[in-house]
Chains A and B, each alone.
Chain A
């Protein structure tokens, strides 16, 4: 699985969009970009994934650059409950998911 790089921490005002960047410059053609988040002392929760097209679901949007070397997770209207550690992972969708969870980005949403 490709290595990813994320900023260690970010702050965002409540109600504003939170834009979390991720660098995955060594991603291979069959690897998807996944985003998970972990609220304190709980198991990580899947948010969204994509290959090369931008994706949106009820939780977030994922913007992937055309060269696929980086992506941005967007939480459109951050709430206090979005305070968590966000992990960006590059991995395949078949075979063994030996996903590498780095240290992620600690997002703090401020009232």
Chain B
């Protein structure tokens, strides 16, 4: 089945550790996105990528890093520089043009810093 797969679903990390969240899509979408969601809040854009080997910062990129070595994959690293990393992280993908503009989301990864 086509879709977006995020892993792990739940992740615990100690303060000072980096952690990488995986996002893979088999929808042949050009664009991929990472959002962060805090309890009771909307989604905030962290990073996005339109093509392989290129990505741009969103509204809250500090303390995060990404890579886009393959069209299908857009991993997010939460670094120790992120002061408040406990949150729900959502990955999404979409076509760039010539369609509805719909985004497809994964099921999310919940990160807890102990």
A contact residues vs B (CB 8 Å cutoff): 32, 34, 36, 41-46, 49, 87, 91-104
Q: Which 10 A-B pairs have the closest CB atoms?
A: A43-B105, A93-B101, A101-B43, A94-B97, A101-B42, A46-B102, A103-B42, A102-B42, A44-B105, A43-B106
Q: Would you call B42 and A97 a contact (CB within 8 A)? A: no
Q: Would you call B101 and A34 a contact (CB within 8 A)? A: yes
B contact residues vs A (CB 8 Å cutoff): 4, 31, 33, 35, 40-45, 48, 50, 56, 58, 88, 90, 92, 94, 96-108, 110
Shortest distance from the beta carbon of B96 to any chain A beta carbon, whole Å: 7
B100 contact set on A, CB distance < 8 A: 49, 93
A97 contact set on B, CB distance < 8 A: 31, 33, 94, 101, 103
Shortest distance from the beta carbon of A32 to any chain B beta carbon, whole Å: 6
A101 contact set on B, CB distance < 8 A: 35, 42-44
A36 contact set on B, CB distance < 8 A: 103
Q: Would you call B40 and A32 a contact (CB within 8 A)? A: no
| CB-nearest residue of chain B to A91 | B101
A98 contact set on B, CB distance < 8 A: 45, 48, 58
Q: Which of B58, B90, B99 contacts A43 (CB 8 A)?
A: B90
